[in-house]
Each structure stands twice: as C-alpha cells, then as structure tokens.
Structure 1
Amino acid sequence: MLKRCKFIVHYVSKFNVFEQVRYASQILPQFSAEKYNVKRKNFSNVQAADVSYFQSILGNDRVLTDRDEVLPFNIDWIRNCRGQSQVVLKPKTTQEVSEILAYCNKKRLAVCPQGGNTGLVGGSVPVYDEIVINLMLMDKIITLDEISGALVCEAGCVLENLDNYVRGHNLIMPLDLGAKGSCQIGGNVSTNAGGLRLLRYGNLHGSVLGLEAVKADGTVIDCLRSLKKDNTGYHLKHLFIGSEGTLGIVTKVAIHCPVLPKAATLGFFGIKNFENILELYKSAKSSLGEILSAFEMADNLAITQTVKNLNLPNPISDYPFYALVETHGSNEVHDGEKLSNFLNKEMESGLIMDGTVTSDPAKMQTIWNLRESIAASSLVGGYVFKYDVSIPQKHYYDIVPMLKQRLGDKASAVFGYGHIGDGNIHINISVPQYTKEVVSLIEPFIFEEVSKLKGSISAEHGIGFRKPQFIHYSKEPSALGLMRDLKQLMDPNGILNPYKVLPETN
C-alpha cells in the first residue's frame, strides 16, 4: 500500500557517515607498491633542499613533513591503497601551483594532485613517494552570474558548500554525489564525476563551461570562459575533464548551474524483480518526461546491509529490489498530476508493490541518505571490492548473480545498486579479508563480461591506480596510442600522477 512518509527522520549527514567509516579501522593498509607489485619509476627523491624551496613559496605551515600529519593523505577512502609520500603541499593560488610544478618538473620529482580524496580507484593517493599537492585551501568562490547560471570558483571548493551557496541564489549544482560533503569540484571535474542526477542534468563534459589548469612544466592554461557557446578551435577544457590529474592540475572551474526546482518529489518503492525495475523505468520516462531527475535502484542486500550497519531507517518493508524515483519541476500542481497518474497506473499494474512518496525536504533527505550511504556501509567489517561499470540496461543486473555463483562462500556479500537511467551499476563484493585467490576470481572476469556487452569498465569513478591494466577492455589500441601521445606532449617527464590511468608498456 503506497503511503506518505510517516517515519521519524534520523538524519545522518553524508560527510559524517563517510568520515566515520573512513577511520573506523586503525589498521594501516598495505603499501600499494607491495600489494600490487609495482616497480618505482625513475624519479628523483625529495631532498631537504627541495623542502626548503617549497617552504620559501608556501611558508612552513603549508608544507607538511611530519609522518603523522602526512599519513592521512597517503591512504584512500576505502583503505585499499596506501602511498609513501613524505611531503604534502597546500597551495592557495594558481601561481603557487605553477611554481611548484615548474620546480618539480625541472627536478623530476613526481607529484600526486589531490582534492577531497574520496575516490574509489586509488587515483588520489601516491603509490610511492610522490609529493602530494592538496588543493583544499583553494576554496574561493569567484563569481556567480545569476542570469546565465555560470559559477566560477577555485578547485578546492567542497561540492556541498557550492550547492548551498548557489541555492541561496535560486540555483543548484548540476551534480550530486554521496561524498559531496567532502569531495572537491576540481576532483569532480578531473574524474568527470557522474552522480545521482546525470539523467536530468547530464555529465560534467556538458556542464563545465571552462576551466584553468596548470601543465607539468608550470604553464597555466587559461580556458576559464563562462560562455555556453565558444566554438573557437580545439575544446581544450575536455583534455582535463576526466584525465585524473595526469595531463594537468585543474585550479579553477566555470560550471553551469541549473535553476533550483520549485517542486521536488521523491518516491521509494518496493519491486518484485529486476525485470520490473526496467519496466518501471520505461514507464517513468514516458509518464514523467522532462520532470524525471533521478531513477536509482538497489537490490535487497544493498539496502538491508546499510540499514543494519549504519542504523538507518528503511521507510518500507523488505523487498527483493528497490527503486528511487525523483522529480524536479517548476509547477507543483502540474508535476503532482503527472506523478499521481504514474503512481496509480503502476500500482494497479503491480510494478510497484509498496512505497512511500514525499515532498518534505527532511524526509527526502532521509531517503536519499539511505541510498547514498550504501557505499560507506559496505566498509563496516572485512574487506570490500568496489566496481563501477556501465552496461546496456537490459543486461544491467546480470553480472551480480554471475559473481555470486562464481565466488560462492568466499564472499560474505555480493550486491548491486546504481543509476538505471545511465546504465551505471555499482557492484560491491564483501569478503572476510583481502586474498589474491579472491582477486583472481573477480579480475579480469568482471571486466571480460562487461567487454562482451560493449560496456565500460569505469562509468564514473575513473581508471586511477586500480584499472590501468584493464583499460584495454574499454579502449582500442589506437585510442590508447593517442592517449599516450597526449601524455607525452603535455607531461614529457611523466611527473603528473604516475602509475595512473595509462597501462605500462613493455
């Protein structure tokens, strides 16, 4: 029986959930270089004279060398990767980034650009002793054009802070992520983050109007335009969007912010099977049209584990699958009529077995928090393998039961959830502990299956450190060759985020 939300709101901010789980274990992960048998490249080692130079630019307080202070910058959020950096730099300006890179390029000192460090493929932490350049202090909002919706800001701005700021001007950020309380816009752009509302607002390749970036040699590339139409030669900004800091460090971003919807509604529904999820999605596209802003799914285990591990409320009963449907519109009466017709139709058809619908912001946040906390909940106890792939929607869930059968009792949990609207499924595999035997059962099997379906081995998390050896499942040799040519042209000494994105050549 469909009902309005009546459960008590137990709001837990996404930032607190992420941070709570991030530091839940005090056991340090194994060094990435040892765990994955990576050979150090021929870079220079940091010397006392190098540290003194950085201090002359930044001052002593923005050059971290104390082991305990540096440690958190060496470990990724899911505690899968651990680097060996001994120096963390915190620039405040593009000029400082430029001076740092020019020096490091001349000295052949490798660097690791870092934002909020919420990535899931090891791209934001060092592998060996790369110098971490963390942009957290570059957090100024520069301008906001309320007519065009163009926001210009520095790369270290936290996504949630930006969203709160533009909401005060009747706008919203075009992306929304579970980690928005700590991730930074520069990292979002550098990884081409997707998020929860890509179905409505598109990906960052379309939303980013312009950017500023610094090349390996310190050259500042100023493409910081805020025009929607600028057809003057090569679109250089796209070289940096999704390049994960391997071609340059993004320092400023101009991004288009859509108008804040006047009417927003969220439904959370229990569904009998995955086939019905697809039928419901087709119906939602047809019935809701332009007001459909998000269509998410999660299987039973994804939700029940999150409820249990993080003590979050589930507003409806136990079902094999769940669908989360959100609408954004400008007319509450018009949108409400559309949504009501959709719900009545699919309750009668049996596609929706049970559910709850609300327009109350606090209750909407509680439902979204349940969905957005799935990633964090899987980190409670044991070790988790996380995969982010795009698959044609008719095969979207096929790989989850395949992995359950393949792993058997070696896995304590295998579940899937994600963005039905863009074909992006997140697959989590929980095991008691990391073993190479389990890895051999998962990789490259999962990527082979994705490749057979003409899918992508990385939908929105990037390639980072964990997937370069598998990128050929999604990129042809000619494309990889062009990527290597671009890397050689823009970073001939290879100092920018080494060991990431591109596979090693013999």
Structure 2
Amino acid sequence: MLRHTVKRQFNLFSRAKPVREAFLCAHNGVSAAVRISTMNRSNVLNYSTKIPPRLTAESYPNLQRLSEFKKLSSDDLTFFKSILSDSEILQATADEDLAVFNEDWMRKYKGQSKLVLRPKTVNQISQILKYCNDNRLAVVPQGGNTGLVGGSIPVFDEIVLSLTQLNKIRSFDSVSGILKCDAGVILENADSFLAENGYIFPMDLGAKGSCHVGGIVATNAGGLRLLRYGSLHGTVLGLEVVLPDGKILNSMDALRKDNTGYDLKQLFIGSEGTIGVITGVSILAPPRPKAVNVGFLGVGSYEAVQEVFVQAKQELSEILSAFEFMDLKSQTLAKEHLKGVSHPLEDEYPFYVLIETSGSNKEHDDAKLEAFLEKAMENGSVLDGVVAQDETELRNLWEWRESIPESSQAGGGVYKYDVSLPLKELYSLVDAANERLNEKGLSSTSDPTKPVISAIGYGHVGDGNLHLNVAVRAYSKEVEKVLEPFVYEFVSSKHGSISAEHGLGFQKKNYIGYSKNEQEIAMIKELKNLYDPNAILNPYKYV
C-alpha cells in the first residue's frame, strides 16, 4: 500500500505495504474487508431494534387519513387471492405486524399496512393497480426499502406493493452495453452480472446490496459514480411502467437516439412511485474499467478540499471516477462504529478526501495518480494519504466512506439532509447546523443527557452534493423543530436544492417550495392529477 507517514514529504510516500494488521492484513483467516462487512451487518441488527419507532400517524397527529380511500375488506382479499399465490400475499396478524415493510431503514417512520402483495409478473401488477384504482385502495410501491425520506413505506393502512419478486435479468447486448432487467433486481446483482460480461452498472451506492434498480430510478439516485457516468436521466434508455389505472407504458426498446415525440420516461425518473410503478429498466452500461485506484487523503481545511478537487480534475481528467469528502467528526463516529479496525491515517485531519480513478491501462493510471499526489503534497494541499494496492485494501478504504451513514445512526438515530449547494458553500451548512444546535443547548459529543451528538458532513464534491447527518441519541420534536425549516431556509438562501438525490418522500413534501417556484409546483401537481386522478399511488408524499 502506498503510504505517507511524514507530512509533506512525498519522497516518503512509498509503495511498501504497511504492517498494520488490524486494518489491512488477514486475521484468523478472514480478510479485514470481510470483518468490516460482517461487523456492519451485526451493528445494523443491534441498533435497528434499539429504539422502536412510533407510528408516523402518532408523530404527526395533524396528518389525517384521507376519507376517500377505502378500507381493506374480505372482498378485496378474495380478489388478490384470485391472481396471486399464498406465498405472494402477506397479511398482518397478532404475531406479525409486517414491520420490515412498515418501517424505514432509519426507524424514523412507521406505517400501519395490513397487507403486502408480492407479485412476480408485470401482468399481476397491472391487475392489482387497476383493481385498487377502481376501488379507491391506496398503494405504496416498495423496492429494497432503503430510502431515507420515508418515501417507500405506508403512512396509514395503504397496501404495500413489493417488487422483490420481480427480479430477473431480461437481456443484455454485449455490443451496445444495453442491459434490460426487472425493477426488483438488486443493484449489486445487476453489477455482478455486468461484471461477468466486462461491463459496469453506471451508478453505485452504499446500499447496493439491498436497493433495487427500479427504486434507484424512481428516486433518481445519484450515488458515487455520477462524476464519471452522469445521472440516470442520461443513462436510462427506456422504462416499463404500470400506470395507476393498470395500463402498461413500455419504452424498453428505446434507442440511444430517438427524437420522436416527448421523452416520456423522464417523467418517471425521480417521480417516487407517485404516477406509475416502474417494472422494467433499460439502461446503458459502460465498459468495466480494467484498472481502479483508490486514495484516502488527509487535508487541512475545506478550502484545501476544493483545491485538491480542482487539481484532480486537471491532473487526472478522464480517469477520475469519484471524489468524496468527509469531515473529522464523521470519521470519529466511524471509528466508534468500526471498533478494533485501525483508521487508514494515523494522525487526525480536519477533512479527508477519497479519490477513485478508473481506466483501461494500469501503468498509465498509476503514473497519473502518482504525479497528481506528488504535486498535491509539494504544494501543501494534501498533508497525508494512502493508496490501495489490492482489491481488499480498496474495499477497506471505501468502507470508511460507506460506513458513515450507519455510524451516524448507531448512537440512537440520525436526521439526514441530502442537499445540493454551490461548492464554495457546501460545508457551510454543517458549520451553521452545529452552531444552531449548540446555541439551543442540544448538542454534545460527551454529555448523554443532550439529545444531539453532533452534526457531521460528507458527500460527493464532484456534483456538489452534501450529506448533512445530525447524529442523535433519540428522535425528538424539539430537535426536529430546531433543524426544520432552518436547514431548508439556509439551502434556499444559497440557491441550492433541498434534495440532491434522496427525493422528497414524506419528510420533505412540505418543503418543496424552498427549491421549486409556484409554477413548477403547480405543473407537478397537474401531472399527478392527470396520471393518478384518484391519488392512490404513494399518497401523503412528494407534493
């Protein structure tokens, strides 16, 4: 592993592998990367049951169930049983409250659905939606349920339409790189399939082992590779969507160039299941890079983060595939979460940068990366760093970035804000949030009587996306009122967006006005009313 141990002396940034076994070497026959992954899964189970969530209806008593929605009846169950097998229907009982479908990953929201439908075919979904539309039964489409704004779970007793069993690869063209798959295919599985064929899925997420391809399209997720491959609005070529009345819109055979009429698929990318249920995705996959490098760097300030980013774009250019930044507080929480695993850098720094390069020629890429690092060290913008030398080390370095969401929740809960801001202003929101929480006497990293641990910041510098996580010991209305609408007002004052990639869901529905003007909101509502006049799809959310 390329490692620097003496500040600002690049000639000591050698390629000798370090001997820090806890982080890099095998332990009892199990690699560090495997140990970290196992640890994360264990912690998820521990802290996800630590504080049972309250019903969303109880947390927001002013929100009332819409009376026009019909309550589930025995006749409805009879119909669903006529088109689905027993294994495709899950009902709540005295011993089973369907918590895995009613609760979000953060355990902030909890619905009251009594019925989960798990169809295996698009035709079944069509029949289900037509029946629900005709009978005014509200429906919540649900994929991997990894959303962070309460968009994929019921609020009241809506029927959960789970796409977990619609999970087949339909076709792949190895010449064009076009993948066609069901919406319920897990992102990691899609990427693994493409890897076998020499291609890569054009986006990556920390939740790739759980999230669905259809779900990331429905939320227009951004992820870790947007800097290199662009957004889903560009890579998705076609969709298959079941509309609220049961009709099936199919543009799966779309080509890369087609100027005949409106590009209808764009309506559904980021629509969060409010005007149709995505059942199939056609997406353009780029060739898989043959050489990947990852560097983990320590820098002295957010200004230095920006300097390194500019240098990386200039020096690394076409091989730069990811540029992530993290503050010291985020890494402190990660250290507490990944107990017993040594941090990549021995000394602490105010900010950290993770750089990934991807290309087709390892010697070429290595030379460019070394030249970039040497220059960055000499001019003082980078103070320390490591570069992975094999796949295990690469995964370990990424783990310190991808473990932050779980680490920030491990203390009891987390308020997550996913925003876009001009790069110069990106971290200012974290400073402002910490200042406000301290002024209100709510925050302390050491005092367990304070509800807030700290506000931390990390994100995708390449596309101006900040993740503000406010780690708390418990969810409370007091903290929420201090943060909202303060965070949204701050973002609006900087001409940013209150949702960069997580969507609006339930959490941000009432704050869309901070990013969209009245005419834009009116048109969004008109589209909703046009395609879903009975408002059965994902009610109480979005707008």
Which residue of structure 1 lines up, in the alignment, with residue 44 of structure 2? 21
* 1:69-468 paired onto structure 2 within 5 Å: 70-311=98-339, 312-317=341-346, 318-408=348-438, 409-410=441-442, 411-468=452-509
C-alpha distance after superposition, 1:453-490 (max 9, x if no partner)? 11000000000010011000000000000001100010
Query: How many Å separate the matches in 2 of 1:435 and 1:445?
Result: 16
1:36 is the counterpart of 2:60: yes
Q: 2:200·2:288 contact (CA, 8 Å) conserved in 1?
A: yes
Gaps of 5+ in 2: 5-12, 19-23, 26-30, 443-451
Query: How many Å separate the matches in 2 of 1:500 and 1:485?
Result: 15
Q: Would the alpha carbon gap of residues 173 and 187 (structure 1) be closer, same or farther in structure 2, given more than 3 Å must change?
A: same
Query: How many Å separate the matches in 1 of 2:239 and 2:405?
Result: 30
Identical pairs, percent? 49
1:477 is the counterpart of 2:477: no
What is the deviation of 1:498?
Answer: 0.3
C-alpha distance after superposition, 1:306-334 (max 9, x if no partner)? 12113344211221110000101111122
SS of the residue corresponding to residue 162 of structure 1 reads: helix
Q: 2:108·2:475 contact (CA, 8 Å) conserved in 1?
A: no
Query: How many Å separate the matches in 2 of 1:275 and 1:470?
Result: 30
Query: How many Å separate the matches in 2 of 1:108 and 1:22?
Result: 37
Query: How many Å separate the matches in 2 of 1:65 and 1:178?
Result: 31
Q: 1:139·1:156 contact (CA, 8 Å) conserved in 2?
A: yes
Query: How many Å separate the matches in 2 of 1:114 and 1:23?
Result: 24
C-alpha distance after superposition, 1:218-263 (max 9, x if no partner)? 0000111242111110000011100000010000000111101111
Q: Greater CA deviation, 55-64 or 331-340? A: 331-340
Q: Greater CA deviation, 65-74 or 99-108? A: 65-74
Query: How many Å separate the matches in 1 of 2:343 and 2:333?
Result: 11
Q: How large is the RMSD of aligned CA atoms in angstroms?
A: 1.4
Q: 1:3·1:356 contact (CA, 8 Å) conserved in 2?
A: no
C-alpha distance after superposition, 1:356-400 (max 9, x if no partner)? 012411111111112111001111122211110000001010011
Q: 2:388·2:397 contact (CA, 8 Å) conserved in 1?
A: no
Query: How many Å separate the matches in 1 of 2:338 and 2:259?
Result: 49
Q: 2:195·2:288 contact (CA, 8 Å) conserved in 1?
A: yes
Which residue of structure 2 lines up, in the alignment, with residue 52 of structure 1? 78
Q: 1:213·1:251 contact (CA, 8 Å) conserved in 2?
A: yes
Q: 2:409·2:472 contact (CA, 8 Å) conserved in 1?
A: no
Which residue of structure 1 lines up, in the alignment, with residue 9 of structure 2? none
Q: 2:32·2:392 contact (CA, 8 Å) conserved in 1?
A: no
1:11 is the counterpart of 2:37: no
Q: Which amino acid aligns with 1:57?
A: I
Which residue of structure 1 lines up, in the alignment, with residue 88 of structure 2? 62
SS of the residue corresponding to residue 216 of structure 1 reads: coil
What is the deviation of 1:19?
Answer: 7.2
SS of the residue corresponding to residue 457 of structure 2 reads: strand
Query: How many Å separate the matches in 2 of 1:49 and 1:489?
Result: 29
TM-score (norm 1): 0.97
Gaps of 5+ in 1: none
Query: How many Å separate the matches in 1 of 2:39 and 2:435?
Result: 35
Q: 2:39·2:338 contact (CA, 8 Å) conserved in 1?
A: no
TM-score (norm 2): 0.90
Count of residues paired in the alignment:
502
Q: Would the alpha carbon gap of residues 462 and 351 (structure 1) be closer, same or farther in structure 2, given more than 3 Å must change?
A: same
What is the deviation of 1:424?
Answer: 0.3
Q: 2:140·2:154 contact (CA, 8 Å) conserved in 1?
A: yes
Q: Greater CA deviation, 476-485 or 329-338? A: 329-338
SS of the residue corresponding to residue 160 of structure 2 reads: strand
Q: Which amino acid aligns with 1:451?
A: S
C-alpha distance after superposition, 1:65-84 (max 9, x if no partner)? 03326221000000011000
Q: Which amino acid aligns with 1:11?
A: A
SS of the residue corresponding to residue 179 of structure 2 reads: strand
